[in-house]
A and B are shown apart, each in its own frame.
Chain A
Amino acid sequence: MKKLIVSRRSSQIFFLSLFIYILWSTAYPLQGIIRPNIIFKMDPLVTLFTALSERVIIPGIALSIAMLAAALIAGRIFCGWVCPLGSLIDGAGALRGKIRALPDGANAAFRKVKYIILGIIAAGACVGIQLAWILDPVGLAARFVSLNLIPAATMLTSGFFIFVIKTFRLYGPFYDFYRSLESTVLGVKVYYFSHAAAIFLFFIVVVLSSLFVARLWCRFVCPLGGLYALSARRPFLKRTLGECTSCGICKSRCRMGAIRDDMSYVPGECILCMDCIYDCPERVTRFAWGGPGPKPSTGRDRMSRRQFLFLLGSALVMSGFKRGEPGRVRNVIRPPGALAENDFVDRCVRCGNCMKVCPTNVIQPVLLQAGLRGVWTPALIPEIGYCEYNCTLCGDICPTGAIRRLPVPVKQATKIGVARVDKGRCIPWSSDNNCIVCEEQCPVPDKAIKLFEESAGGRRKFKPYVDDGLCIGCGTCQNKCPVRPVRAIRVKPL
């Protein structure tokens, strides 16, 4: 009985399920036991580097420091036992079957890539650019779960039920059961996210890379792994060998390539998967507290001068991306409470929490509409939804404060844009009919959309116009406008 492997796998399944549960419960009325922003506050990569690049103390940063301290003691236990992306990668790796070992030289060379990536992120953070989100494994997994997995699962489940109900005309208790699912597990609507396919593609490439080399991402690319590896250079929990016969079986099966030709190991690479304990035919491999220190690293493990210069050069290149003028104009509508555009783009870690939690699905990832640095930042697309007047959920769960947490009355007075009537399309302005849907739906108590009343031929006509002082840009009018394909009232970002 491989007790430790069973524990490790249980832990991986538990934390992956917890991760999915937390993100699933990221919906109105936020009844989950754990807030989703905790996930990212536990992620030292995004939390520390966002704090550094933005020169702020993010509340809950202590959690990240605690995680790094844990790695100082027990090594990269997060990677092997907790990380949701790691678990998915292990799951995909199981499809591949046998692990093939790379030679020491290749291992040593490739594993440095993640330190270079980490170095670039650190250099960026020093000059005020937050790059940590791009390759952050937790954010990668969270985007997949929130924007791909949960919507797809909802769609398939609903589709199945709708199909069965309609085909077999089961409008009785079976339909009631589906309705109870709708109000509990599934949610009322199927979410749609623009270019979810691009998000999925990025994710699936990372996961399937483990079919080529076991845990390729974790070994060579993952900057969070690199950060943990740096703290895990001399952990207290160490791998020790008894009477080793140097058979090399553990090395050939190590998924992280952490075991060298001479059977010594690189603690920063070991994720404590515990495979080598059971792979060892002599049963002499143990993990124990204390014990002799690891073998000092050879020259090949260290960073070469050339690599250091490359790092320095990339940092110089990056300083060219330094923030522009502080008053950069927005060309997308940001969620209420979002920081000024430049700060917002740098503070946002693209975790997708705000998109997942938004009850109307209006918050969407943008591709390039907000510039190259704004990829996958959240923006409001009023054709899809609108900003609920009494709702503050996106600010409540933003892990880095890119969207500030606003009390309801403040949020209700926060302008995110301003609506404009397109008189050429608007029904009352361009024809003889009445409409006023925009005015009716306007949630501002004193109505930011006013009506210009006209009487002609015994008929009253109401033509809408926007009171710029009252309009908060929530987009309800644009969303509800019945004119198609282009709405007759549209919100411009502020």
Chain B
Amino acid sequence: MGIDKTVHRFYNSTMLRSFFKKQFSRRRFLRMGIVGGAAFLLSQNFLLKKAFAEAPKTGGRPKKNIKGAYDLVVANGQDPYQNTVKAIDAMGGMEKFVARGSTVVVKPNMAWDRSSEYGANTDPRVVAAIVGMCYKAGAKRVNVFDNPCNDAKRVYVNTGIAKAAKDAGAYVYFVDEWNTVKATFSYKSPMEGWPVYRDAVVCDTFINVPVLKHHSLTGLTLSMKNLMGICAGNRGLMHVGIHEKLVDITDYISPELTVIDATRILTRNGPVGGNLDDVVQVNKVIVATDPTLADTYAAVLANKSPLDIPYIAHAIRRGFGSADLKGAKMHTIAL
């Protein structure tokens, strides 16, 4: 059989034929192209402008300067949950920091795909205790989130924090790269214009819940370092001149309360860890209203000179908070 005949039949059976046989005047074609193209371009421009709108510029959270009953409270005990509850109670209770009907952000260190015994993330029991206390104090809503370094889903599950916080009633969610504001400062800062997650800024109370662990650049990861987790963008670049950047972002957020989880200390190979031999059980929870003071105490606890931690040294130079452990009103609880 002839191949040409088949080809002819093919052509006859196609949509192509009916498509080309339709009356398609030049005018109609041009009109269609112009109208369609203009509509497309307009909609694109409009949509793009909306979708990639500049994040609004926002100054930092207001400083409330709430003082607790003590400057710093340390609780020692086997159970991190009770440590946290007792330490915050000794501070004067969560009611001091959380107003009725307010929105609270609890920012744990939830960055690495490691379970809690490796000491790379905040202990879930500490987070659960804080969330529970916030609700007891009358908080309307407690948000728990972090911008993890490893895959967010794995981290949220494997640290155990997502489940513990959810069980305590918190809203646990993933951060969205587009939901940021641009930080602005009243002074010259290397963090000027840096994208910061909106939810961390738009809240009534911010509670910073870091874990005490080793870090090779800053010596230790403490409360100020933990605030890298509310920053978006190319966060690796924050490591260049990290001391100044961390103090400025802490000033920007000015957390009402800092709760350092020192249940364990990851002493080497931080901040990821992965070796149980590097983890020392300390069973402490440190609570303070001044992040510098909390970090200073934690540094001493981890056997480091606070002045060797670049951001503590910079905070002292700048006069941000106090690093005066001797002059601070301290309280220790043994459980």
CB distance from B177 to the nearest CB of A (A): 9
B1 near A105: Cβ-Cβ < 8 Å? yes
Q: Identify which of B1, B9, B113, B235 contacts A388 (C-beta below 8 A).
A: B113
A29 near B9: Cβ-Cβ < 8 Å? no
A440 near B215: Cβ-Cβ < 8 Å? yes
Binds A, one of B77-85, B94-102, B147-155: B147-155
B217 near A106: Cβ-Cβ < 8 Å? no
Q: A188-B152, A213-B13, A434-B240 are in contact. Are A179 and B173 (CB under 8 A)?
A: yes
Q: B53 an interface residue at 8 Å Cβ cutoff?
A: yes
Q: B171 an interface residue at 8 Å Cβ cutoff?
A: yes
A28 near B240: Cβ-Cβ < 8 Å? no
B174 near A100: Cβ-Cβ < 8 Å? no
Q: B283 an interface residue at 8 Å Cβ cutoff?
A: no
B154 near A103: Cβ-Cβ < 8 Å? no
Instruction: Using CB atoms, name the residue of chain B closest to A162.
Output: B178
Q: Identify which of A159, A427, A436 contacts B216 (C-beta below 8 A).
A: A436
A163 near B50: Cβ-Cβ < 8 Å? yes
B239 near A482: Cβ-Cβ < 8 Å? yes
B13 near A435: Cβ-Cβ < 8 Å? no
Q: Is the interface of A mostly helix, strand, loop or mixed?
A: loop
B13 near A360: Cβ-Cβ < 8 Å? no
Instruction: Using CB atoms, name the residue of chain A closest to B217.
Output: A436
CB distance from A378 to the nearest CB of B (A): 18
Contact with B along A443-466 (1 / 0, CB 8 A): 111110001000000000010000
Cα distance, A217 to B171, chains bound together (Å) = 50
- In the complex, the number of residue pairs spanning A and B with C-beta atoms less than 8 Å apart equals 127
Interface residues of B in 1-39 (CB under 8 A from A): 1, 6, 9-10, 12-15
Q: A342 an interface residue at 8 Å Cβ cutoff?
A: no
CB distance from A158 to the nearest CB of B (A): 9
Q: A162-B51, A182-B173 are in contact. Are A439 and B216 (CB under 8 A)?
A: yes
**Chain B hits for A187, CB < 8 A:** 153
A462 near B217: Cβ-Cβ < 8 Å? yes
A446 near B15: Cβ-Cβ < 8 Å? no
Q: Identify which of A433, A440, A484 contacts B271 (C-beta below 8 A).
A: A440
Q: A106-B9, A163-B47, A391-B154 are in contact. Are A433 and B1 (CB under 8 A)?
A: no
B216 near A176: Cβ-Cβ < 8 Å? no
Q: Identify which of A95, A103, A435, A443 contacts B272 (C-beta below 8 A).
A: A443
Q: B236 an interface residue at 8 Å Cβ cutoff?
A: yes
A435 near B274: Cβ-Cβ < 8 Å? no
Q: A445-B273, A482-B234 are in contact. Are A434 and B242 (CB under 8 A)?
A: yes
Cα distance, A426 to B225, chains bound together (Å) = 23
A446 near B275: Cβ-Cβ < 8 Å? yes
B154 near A451: Cβ-Cβ < 8 Å? no
CB distance from A442 to the nearest CB of B (A): 7
**Chain B hits for A440, CB < 8 A:** 215-217, 239, 270-272
**Chain A hits for B62, CB < 8 A:** none
B50 near A212: Cβ-Cβ < 8 Å? no
A451 near B13: Cβ-Cβ < 8 Å? no
**Chain B hits for A183, CB < 8 A:** 153, 173-174
CB distance from A441 to the nearest CB of B (A): 6
Q: A163-B51, A389-B113 are in contact. Are A359 and B153 (CB under 8 A)?
A: yes
Q: A211 an interface residue at 8 Å Cβ cutoff?
A: yes
Instruction: Using CB atoms, name the residue of chain B closest to A480.
Output: B236
A106 near B1: Cβ-Cβ < 8 Å? yes
Contact with B along A462-493 (1 / 0, CB 8 A): 10000000000000000011101000000000
Q: Identify which of B158, B198, B274 contacts A443 (C-beta below 8 A).
A: B274
**Chain B hits for A389, CB < 8 A:** 113, 150, 274
**Chain A hits for B274, CB < 8 A:** 389, 443-445
Instruction: List residues of chain A with CB under 8 Å of any chain B CB.
Output: 28-29, 95-96, 100, 102-103, 105-106, 109, 159, 162-163, 166-167, 171, 176, 179, 182-183, 187-188, 211-213, 359-360, 388-391, 427, 433-437, 439-447, 451, 462, 480-482, 484
A-B contact pairs, 17 of them (CB 8 A): A28-B154, A95-B15, A162-B51, A163-B47, A163-B51, A166-B178, A167-B50, A187-B153, A212-B14, A388-B113, A388-B151, A433-B241, A434-B217, A435-B236, A436-B216, A440-B272, A445-B273
Please give me the 6 A-B residue pairs with the lowest Cβ-Cβ distance, nearest first: A482-B236, A445-B274, A100-B13, A105-B1, A445-B275, A437-B236
